[in-house]
Structure formats: C-alpha cells, structure tokens
Structure 1
C-alpha cells in the first residue's frame, strides 16, 4: 500500500525549530574574527542640494578609524531596471538621509563616532515632495540627466521631467465608451509611502580577495543572483568573479529584492586601503526607515462610465506613484499596475496611464502586492461608490461586471479559468453580508464591505529558474534551489515536491540557502512566482534523478524501469519480489550482473522559463500574453467604528483565493492570514510623514505604527478554490502577495457602510475616522483629509 500524496498534505514547516531556538545563523550572526571592519554611513541632512565640501579630518583622528570614503572615489551608478542610483552621493544629494560618506573602522563604536565628526557643507536647492506637483511643468528636476541613464526596454522615462516611468493602456474606443454610458463618475484616492517593517534590518559583509580580486558578499537579500548580476555589471566584472551568499533573512516583503545596502558596503571593501579585509555594514531601524526602500505612495484616479443596468462601458485610470529619489526598481510596480488596470472587471474600452514620479524622498521599490494595492486601493473604492450611486448592491455590481474566463484583460490577454464568482459569493456568505446586524458595542456603528484582488507574477519574459537534486548514500536528498525562504514556507513546499517525486520521506530532504557558487541560477524571489516557476524546475530535476535511478536498478535487477517503484525510501520490484532501501550504491555505483560498476552520484537537474510571454506594446499596452497567469480573490470585512474616538475594530475578516492547487496547505493558510493582518496594519495605522524640509517625522517603531497582536481582528477566516493552472507543476499558482491587496479597500468600503461617508485618503487612522464621522453628521458625502 503506497503512502498518501505529499502534494496537498499538511506538514510541519522546515527550519522553524531552528528559528524558534535561535540557532539559525543570519548575516549579523556570522563571525569573521578580528579582521572584520565596520562601516557607518554619513547621511545628508537636507533633501536636495549640492555638496560644497566634506571635511573628515576630525573623523580620521578617532582611534580605530581606518578610512573615510566619498562618492567621488568610485562614482558608479547602478540599478536593476533603470540605473539612476549611486551608493554614495556624488556632487548632489536627492533626499534627506542619502549617504554622503562612509566611515570604515575597527569597531562599530569607532565608525559611529567617526561618522558623527564628518562635517558636510551644502548649497541647498529647491526640493519637491508631492508627486502630483512634481509632474507639473517647471517643477524642480530630481534627475536632470534622466535621459542619459541606462534602462531596460520596458522602462519608458520622459527626459526633462520627473516621470521615470510611464506605462500606457489603450484598448477599445474610450470616447465611444463614455458616450454609451448613462452615468459617468470620477473619484480619486491616495495613500502615503509605507515601510516594509521587516524584523531584520539590512546588513551586509563584503570582502575582496587581494590576489584574485574576487568579491564575496554575504547579505540579507531576497535574490542572490540579482545582487551578483548588478554588482558584476556595475563593476564590469565576469560573473564568476562575484560570489553572493544569502544566509536566512528575517522577512523581506520586497524590501530586500535587488540591491539595497550592498553597493554601499562594496565601496569600502573595494578600497585599496582596506587590503582584502571583510567589511560589515549594519543599518539601524531608524536608518532603514530614513533611507531604504519603501512602498511607493500613490494617487489613483478613476473615471468610470456605466449604463443604467450597471454595465461598465468605459474606464479611464490614472495612478501616480511617488517613487522617491530613485526609480531603479520602482518602475516595475508601475508597469504591474498598468497591465492590470481593469482590475477584476471586463471593460471593453479602457485608457490607462500609470506613472512613476521622482520626489526628494526615500526611494520606492518592490513591496508585497507590487503595484496592485496602489491600483485596487482606489479602483475597488470607486466600484463601490458607483454601485451605491446606482442603487445597485456592490456585490451584485461586481458579479455583473466580473471578467469571466476567456475574456480579455486590458492588455488583450485572455484571463485563464478561475473561480472568482464562487469566491465572491462565499466571502459574502461568510461575513453575513446581506444581514443587517446591529453593532456588538453600544454606541458604535457597524458596516460590512467587500473588495476584489487580482495579480499576475510581475517578471521579465525570460525570468527562469533552475534546480539540482542529489540523492545521497543514505537515501536522503540534497536540494539546491536559489529561492530565498524568508518566512513564506518555500522550502517546506519544495521538500514536499521532492518527497512526492522521489518517494523519500520528507524529513530526508534538505534545501540549502542560496549561494551563487554552488546553486544553479534563479531570477529572483519575488512576484509570487517561486512555487510555480522554481516548483517546475524542482519537479523536472526530480524526474531526471528518478529516471537515472530506475534505469540503474532495472539493469541491476534485470527488469524494466516501469516495474520499479520507490515508496518511503524503499526501492521495489514486485514481480521479482525484490526491495531494498536506497543506499551508497547511488553514490559509488552499482555492481552490475557482469561484475562491472556503473553509475555514480545521481544528480538531477531541472530548468523552467515561461515559454510564451510577450512584452506589451509600449504605446498601447497590448499583448497576446502579457503575463503568465493571474491569481484572483476577494476579501470581506465586518467592522465597527466608535464615533466618539474614531477607533475601528474588525469583528471578522475573510479572504478567499483561487490558487490552482494548494501544494502546502498549512503555508497557504499562514500566507493568507499573515497577509491579511499586514493589510489591516497598512490601512489602519501605517504611513510615512514628512515635514516641509523632507524630514521623516516617524523614523522608528515608536512613532511608525504597525498592528500588534492586540490589533489583530477578532476572527480571520481563509479559504481557497482550486481551478488548475494549465502550465504548472501541479496546477498551482502563487498566492503570497495577494492576501494584502484587497484588505485596504474592503475596510474602506465597510467604513462607508458604517459611517455613510467615503474617506479618500489612507490610512484610516482614528483621527481621520473621527473627523470623517463628524463630516457625515453634517451631511457631507466625502472626506478628503
């Protein structure tokens, strides 16, 4: 009797015991002995201006200070999609907190003291902090040389402006669509920048071999091979001269994708005076919030035309992303939002413009949801508003306009089969949407709301994955897959795939953290793509290894390969009555009937690249297949608000998604619940606020509020549907980012039902909810501040 399938099994997560015990080694835990140097950045105290002079003579007097490095010492420009960022400012600073010098010392304390003694003189220039203002003619230019920057083909900046990226959708006849409408409504919504708030701050250790000149980087990064590629290209080095090791990381959410602090640390390691010593750069929480990646702020405006019966005829969408002082990664969320401009609805006529706009603030980049919380944070509120204006129930309005399988998205790409209609109905049922229940708390107001989510893996057409599995002499399996497991449970799901395909116990499978010197290539751990793309590569690697193993056993036992099975690590041929555990023969070779050894180490390899993605046309956004697939879902919220204080309490929140197949259900449940809580946090509490000089007013977790265990909703319910994906390891699709996409607008829609007023700015803080309720009592329908 064979064992149950490991695909879809509820299993314990790997590496969790080590995390709980504190024995898992993160980058900051690595020990390099007395040779280790420490670096500390000197950061700009103004948001925009020219560097007149940097005096570091006093810093060099601090005992232990080895070197002070300036941007002009190595004026390199880097970036993954748009090369617009320098590790250390050269001549000009573009945001308050930008590194202007780097102090290297024998200890952290010496580096810190040295950094405090560096004196910088600036010639301050006019800055711009509002992305809408930054788009206007005559606005101060954050990057006057934008037209000269290197970029990839799908990045379309507008030189001479602050627009770093402009993605267009032009489908159907927009004017005709509005002419056919009986009602036209236009609304706008906005949200400030958001911090990732991962537990582990950025840190990095770099070392250059003084003889071979090879560079080794240990870093808390999501994507080892992307870091290697950017460093090698920036320094014009062969790839084999750069080794990147990524130990376990304490959360990422996109904030550790691409290159973050590695370039800054390398500035020290590459300095001739360092002479091959390792250099460590660890940045504090305040520095992370002040100077590292954030989720871009956004302004979303939607003009919608509908018929009397609620059919959408046309939609015009504009999303302005506040990408801060660098758009080198932030250009891609702009594109991701653009090619999903219709959301979950069929819109025959659509015109969309999504912009990434420079401001003199910390730079925006990847963040969980990758452009879709920004788009749907406005669009799903507009959908509700239109439905209410037409006196149509918002759920029924959504069902009427839902994009059914086979219908074209805004790019012209048909959406694959999905169960979104079923999910919407289940979400409504689970929050008793149609039941008008009184508030649980005396004097409070109660409301229920729904919002939809959709997202495709935002990745280049050639984003590939590869994996290697090696069957060891005791029947255990070594897996090399360069995905970074940062809490999402990827290695658990990978172990399930290996266990399923090779017939070995799951506790005999080990996945190793990425190292570009040992692991085969993987693009990045982003885009909710890993269990789909890397999962395909792992499955193929296992098939390759199993084919080798069965062929050897067939010759060894003199039978056919198809007569052999492997179950729980035992190889069997039922016809011959033979069975044995996998042993050292898989490494040392099989002694065949003729007396000769054959075989040796059994190593399987697998590779996967999406075969048919075509970049959208730059002028129309049209493509027969702009993305590999979409994951869809819905969120329902039952909440209450206290009119006297503005406090919001969520009674119940439900999230449902069509993920094709749940390979690791426990991880899916954790992802949905964790993403839901993160969505609640960002819409009720989070936001980065600056004064008129560009100084961040809440640069630590004392003032930057995130949800705690006391703020978690009373009840979180998750579920999923499984409409198989055609091109997939087991029919699965990603679901890692999706659970936080629709939480914000679902809460906004529920607040509207509770208060009777539409709040147009996130987050929905106590003060904002309180003031909105006061405005509602005066008969106002919208609250803008």
Structure 2
C-alpha cells in the first residue's frame, strides 16, 4: 500500500458520482417513500395570525372525525417532553405552540390518522381562538418596538449564557468586532467618507424534497428516519428533550433530495418523536412544498456600511451595522450574525474597523442557515459599496481593489492571518476572464450592456469535529462509516476517493454506510462547506489507522502475501476485519475575545470566491438579462475536479435566482407566494453561459490539499450583477432582488421622472 504522498490514482480524478445510477433509475432511498406497518400520518394545524396569545384550542370536532386516531396540542407534548422547547443555540422554539403564536404558519396542533387525507380534513375542524398582539415584521423597526416577540431570552449553549434572563428586547444576539484603534478618529482624518445602506429580503430554500420525518418506537427507545443534515445533533437534542440517554435515540439519514441548510438542526424531528411516543405507533409527517415556506427561510437583512478613504485611495476606516431578520425563533441566526458579521469588512486591509451584527427577532417564519451562511448578503453590500466608492473617486474598480486587497499573510480584521487563501489571485483571474481594461461593446439605443465583478471571503465554522471508521474486509474491500450527509453535493464519492487513495484500492471497492447514529460516529453536521475538510481529515486518519494495522499483520506473517491470506493465517479462514478510526478537530482554534472579536486563529481555512458578470439592460422596461457569469473559486486541490466544478455552477445558479427574482412576499406576516406558481426559481431558460475557474493551489492544512467549495459560488453573484447593471445604465440598485421594476424605477428617478408607488410597470 502506497503512502498518500506518492500517488494520486484516486484523489484528484473526476470519478463518476457513485449514486448516479440509483438516482436516474428511481431506486435510491428517500424518506418520503418510507412506509412502516401500522404507521400514522400527521398533518399540522397552523397559526393564522402573526402574534397572539392563545385563548383556547378546541379539538373536539377533529377528534370525532371518522378515522382520526389522535389530536395533539402543546400541552400534550409536555407528557413526554416536560420542557418542550428546542433549538441549536437558544431553547426558545416550542414543539407545538404554547401560550403564544409568533408567526403565521406556526404549528399549533397535530392530527394523526392512518390516511393522510383524513388527517388533513380534520385539521380544518380545529378551532383556535387568539388574543392578538401587535406584530413586528421589519428587523430595523424591531429594534425600537415595545412589542416583544419573546419576553425573555433563553440561551441554550454555554457560550451565550450571559444572555440568560435578558428581557424586553427583540435583539436575540449581539456580535461586535473592533480592530485597530479609534475608528471615529480615523473617519475624522479621512479625506473622503462614504456611507450607504443596502437591503436583502427573505428567500426560500425549496429543495425538491420537502422536510420529512418518520419516528418509530422501538422497544425501550426510538428510531427516527429523517431527511436531515445534522443527524448527530438530532440524536442529542431529542435525547435532551425526552431526558433520555442518547443510546436510546437512533437517527437514520439516507440520501437527501437537496438541503441547502433547510434541513439542519431540528425541523420536524421533535414533533414527530413526541407524536410517535404518545400514539405508541410509527408516525410520519411530510411537509408539502407550500409548508416549506412557513418552516424556514433565508435571512433578510439591512446592511449599513461606512468607509473612510485617504487621498491615495486607501480605505482607512470602516463601520458596519448589520441587522438580520431572524424570524420568530433563533435557530442558527446568532451564528449567522457571528460568522458572517466577522467578515463584514470584506477581503480588504483596513486599519480601523468597527462591526455590529445583530440577530433580531420578528414575527416572521424562522430564518436559518442557507448556502453561504449570510455571506451573500454581506458581500452584496460591501462589493456594491466598493464599486460606488471607486466610481465617486474616479478610480477604476479593479485598481481601487488592488490598492486595498488583503494579500497572502496579511492580517484580517478578525486578527487572523490569511494563509493559503488566494484573494489576489481570484481578483486577477476574474478580471482576466472578463477582459477588464479592454474595449467593451456597451450597446446602443434602448439595449445597453455592462460588466462588473466582485470578490468575497468567508471563514470556515470553528471549532467543529468529525469522526470516521474504516473497516477493511478479508477480500480487500473497505467500508466507510461516517455521519456526513450526501444531499446532492457528491460527498460520498469524494469520501470514497480518500479511502481508496490511502488504502491503494479501486474507488469502486469502497462502500459507504450512511448516517445511522447507532452505527456511524459523531459529526457536527453537513453545513458551511466544512465536510470535505473536516470529515475528509477524519476519513484519511481512519484509513491510515486501518492501513497501519494491516501492515502490522503483514509484518507478523513474515512474508508479502495477499490480504486474504493474512486473515487466513490469523483466523484460520480468509475472514475477519481490520477497523481503523479517526477523529479530527482543527488544532489551534482561539476563541474570539467577546468584546473585540479578535482572535489569532479564528478559522481553520478561508474560502475565497469571485464572480464576473456581463448583462444586458432594456432601458424601456428595466429588464436585466444575464449574458455571462464567470466564477472563480479557491478550492485548494480538488479531490474530484468535476464535482467541484458542478458545485460552483449550482451555487451560482442558486444565487442568481435570489439575485434576480426570488423573494418571499408577506401580507401582514402571511406568505403570499408559497408555491412554484408564484415563487420563481431559475429555469433552464434563465441560466446564462457559465464559466468556472478553479485556482491552482493547495490548502496547507487540508486533506490532500483540499478544502470546501460548496458555498463559494454563491458569494459574489449578486454584487457582480449589480455592478454590471450600473456599468450598463448608470443606476445603482440597493435592494435584492434586482427586478425589472426595481431597475426601471431607478432609471426614472435618475431622469428626475420617478414613478408613483401605485403606478404599474409593464414588463
């Protein structure tokens, strides 16, 4: 068996996706297809008001409906979960509403029946009476509102216990960063000061497989079959809610039909677990596509950014105020405020920085993790802001960035150095691909053309842990046990390549056991582009451990013999296994100072992306057509180059939809476009020519030089398009999505002929 450094037959090659045939033939396992004997189906009765105290919940008619087995309310949940509040950072979300409802669509009751249609009919018979309270929907308005979504904060993890007992505020989590000296004095000394505000709106994840969970009482315990990206956390949280040892809770996760953050932490699992225990039968809850819109969204945000610039075009000071609309419950919102907030100053070398990033409660559906983890919103702001400063200073946008960009070894505003992070290379590559600085046909008449680019940076989530086991059988095949979830990103294929590389066997000889917390070891979760780096390391270490044990067996045998003979000599027959284990937590992490956000080692690696865009704008309608996207990504040394290329394309297309058309619309808290008939994701006809460039390089701390890239393609699409629109028609869009109406209104305003708010725009 060769050492990993001497050959690269498995790693670095574009092996086919191992699940491809199962998917195209319809044989792959999805929880939506799971049927268990004696199983009940659950349908959810949801709140019709945004903020109210619950006066009464009358379930008598629903319980009397033929075929209904059980109707559950929040008080029923207490029979198996004495404190029925869940959450990854705050324990603030009830399994079913208790005392109050905090958004339209919040689960209030659950109907169980053998026939899902019967359960749906009975839901309509539940009579819920409310005493309505004043709602708050906007993240900025929530700061000064005296209507509080939560009367008291309920932090759940040790790091934020300082918030315990805080009352009368809609700020769920405040993050701040201070870098350098006196930022106000730096503004006073600046030659120029620029200040701008930008907004983004909630959008929806809409994986084609909506959330689904089946819970099955199994003797003294409980098995959950669920579409979830963090099975280890689900097992932990369900055990905590039930006050059970974790060994009694088993969580199984097969392939997912998409996730993008929508299936992280707890979604349906706590509700379905409680229902199965109360019904003493298997229970399945499958959300409809419409219900996804009431379950989880992407954070909308208001972003205010102020920069001071000296006479040489160097940024000397920056202030950022970011307000994240977290919805009714915290979920992972505090971590978005923290992890995204820390990079709000961008990939720029700025001496004095002050950042405030606040996760804010509102009476909207929960906002959670979504591909990019808040960074597309931030980069939308700071890369628009960067171009605006460059144009006002009459400096070419590329030249302005080059004067200010962080270079290899430079210290980021967090206090952590940028190492093996190709910020400057990404900037150079994207502008080369755009032929920046060379003549460009801007069009004429009513059709105008423009181009723009943007660059962004993201820190990996830290600290986090992955564990893996590799079992080598007597026939030389290997089986990998890990709790990483393949939701379409190709994790299984890349992981098999790592095992094959270390053991020097064909990739096809590596089997993958999907997450099953009774069998597969712990993993923080499949999120934040952490999987390849963290789990990749754990898998490599486990395979090395297995290889060392095989080599020890060979040394004891005294000769170089086939693997089956090694086992035959040891066990009397060619049978048996060697098991290697590996665990990886990135070394050296230094928690940030709570007052300044400073850390000498805040991330195990940096992700860098850049995008260039060419657009066409119809000045008569404002319609924007994307002609070309150029994505540049720093992915270290790819384990599977083709999968990485597809990841970057998929990420950029997803972000393009949110840039141009996707927005969850609300009418006094009620989602009004909760279907694909009204909420439009990109179709094949919306996708422009896409070019991807992976920067050649090696992540020094990564497995075989690799690092995560699943989010990188999302970073800069929105700001690159906005900068291209400005280049085409000279108007700046401050809000996403960049619809034809938005651009047309900006054109009319620039021409001193603004539209009245009630005028229609014909597109």
| TM-score for both structures, normalised by structure 2 | 0.94
CA shift for structure 1 position 726:
2.4
Residue by residue over 1:521-544, the C-alpha shift from the partner in whole angstroms, topping out at 9 and shown as x without a partner, is: 111111111111100011111111
2:153 matches 1:141: no
Q: Which residue of 2 aligns with 1:552?
A: 553
Q: Sort the Cα spacing of 1:281 and 1:523 in 2 relative to 1 into closer, same or farther, 3 A.
A: same
Q: Which residue of 1 aligns with 2:427?
A: 424
Q: Which residue of 1 aligns with 2:745?
A: 771
Tell whether the 8 Å contact from 1:552 to 1:590 is kept in structure 2 after alignment. Answer: no
CA shift for structure 1 position 333:
0.7
Q: Which residue of 1 aligns with 2:40?
A: 37
For structure 2, list consecutive stretches of 5 or more residues without a partner in the other structure. 79-83
Q: For 1:188-267, what aligned pairs fall within 5 Å after superposition?
A: 188-209=197-218, 211-212=219-220, 214-267=221-274
2:611 matches 1:618: no
Tell whether the 8 Å contact from 2:624 to 2:740 is kept in structure 1 after alignment. Answer: yes
Residue by residue over 1:489-548, the C-alpha shift from the partner in whole angstroms, topping out at 9 and shown as x without a partner, is: 111111111111111111111212110011011111111111111000111111111111
How many residues are aligned here?
A: 744
Partner SS, residue 631 of structure 1: strand
In the alignment, the residues of structure 2 paired with residue 113 and residue 4 of structure 1 have an alpha-carbon distance, to the nearest angstrom, of 59
In the alignment, the residues of structure 2 paired with residue 596 and residue 491 of structure 1 have an alpha-carbon distance, to the nearest angstrom, of 34
Tell whether the 8 Å contact from 2:155 to 2:161 is kept in structure 1 after alignment. Answer: no
Mean Cα deviation higher: 35-44 or 327-336 = 327-336
Q: Which residue of 2 aligns with 1:562?
A: none
In the alignment, the residues of structure 1 paired with residue 291 and residue 362 of structure 2 have an alpha-carbon distance, to the nearest angstrom, of 19
2:707 matches 1:704: no
Tell whether the 8 Å contact from 2:420 to 2:700 is kept in structure 1 after alignment. Answer: no
Q: Which residue of 2 aligns with 1:685?
A: 661
Q: From 566, 569, 581, give the equivalent of 1:591.
A: 569
Residue by residue over 1:539-592, the C-alpha shift from the partner in whole angstroms, topping out at 9 and shown as x without a partner, is: 111111111112222332x25xxxxxxxxxxxxx5xxxxx64x43x46xx3426
2:625 matches 1:655: no
CA shift for structure 1 position 328:
2.4
Tell whether the 8 Å contact from 1:155 to 1:331 is kept in structure 2 after alignment. Answer: no
In the alignment, the residues of structure 1 paired with residue 178 and residue 397 of structure 2 have an alpha-carbon distance, to the nearest angstrom, of 27
Q: Sort the Cα spacing of 1:503 and 1:746 in 2 relative to 1 into closer, same or farther, 3 A.
A: same
Q: Sort the Cα spacing of 1:532 and 1:150 in 2 relative to 1 into closer, same or farther, 3 A.
A: closer
In the alignment, the residues of structure 2 paired with residue 95 and residue 267 of structure 1 have an alpha-carbon distance, to the nearest angstrom, of 22
In the alignment, the residues of structure 2 paired with residue 764 and residue 596 of structure 1 have an alpha-carbon distance, to the nearest angstrom, of 71
Q: From 387, 390, 415, give the equivalent of 2:390.
A: 387
Q: Which residue of 1 aligns with 2:97?
A: 89
Q: Which residue of 2 aligns with 1:22?
A: 26
Q: Which residue of 2 aligns with 1:576?
A: none
CA shift for structure 1 position 750:
0.7
CA shift for structure 1 position 3:
7.5
Residue by residue over 1:284-338, the C-alpha shift from the partner in whole angstroms, topping out at 9 and shown as x without a partner, is: 011111x211111001110000012210100000110000001121111110112
In the alignment, the residues of structure 2 paired with residue 643 and residue 156 of structure 1 have an alpha-carbon distance, to the nearest angstrom, of 53
Q: Which residue of 2 aligns with 1:153?
A: 159
In the alignment, the residues of structure 2 paired with residue 155 and residue 741 of structure 1 have an alpha-carbon distance, to the nearest angstrom, of 32
Alpha-carbon RMSD across the aligned residues, in angstroms, is 2.0
Q: Which residue of 2 aligns with 1:489?
A: 490
Q: Which residue of 2 aligns with 1:179?
A: 188
Q: Which residue of 1 aligns with 2:452?
A: 449
2:273 matches 1:299: no
In the alignment, the residues of structure 1 paired with residue 711 and residue 658 of structure 2 have an alpha-carbon distance, to the nearest angstrom, of 14
Q: Sort the Cα spacing of 1:532 and 1:549 in 2 relative to 1 into closer, same or farther, 3 A.
A: same
Q: Sort the Cα spacing of 1:48 and 1:779 in 2 relative to 1 into closer, same or farther, 3 A.
A: closer
Partner SS, residue 56 of structure 2: strand
CA shift for structure 1 position 440:
6.5
Q: Which residue of 1 aligns with 2:670?
A: 695
| TM-score for both structures, normalised by structure 1 | 0.92
2:724 matches 1:759: no
CA shift for structure 1 position 149:
4.2
Q: Which residue of 1 aligns with 2:531?
A: 530
Q: Sort the Cα spacing of 1:703 and 1:452 in 2 relative to 1 into closer, same or farther, 3 A.
A: same
2:25 matches 1:55: no
Tell whether the 8 Å contact from 1:341 to 1:410 is kept in structure 2 after alignment. Answer: no
Q: Which residue of 2 aligns with 1:567?
A: none
Tell whether the 8 Å contact from 1:755 to 1:776 is kept in structure 2 after alignment. Answer: no
Q: Which residue of 2 aligns with 1:564?
A: none
Tell whether the 8 Å contact from 1:156 to 1:166 is kept in structure 2 after alignment. Answer: no
In the alignment, the residues of structure 2 paired with residue 254 and residue 113 of structure 1 have an alpha-carbon distance, to the nearest angstrom, of 31
For structure 1, list consecutive stretches of 5 or more residues without a partner in the other structure. 560-572, 574-578
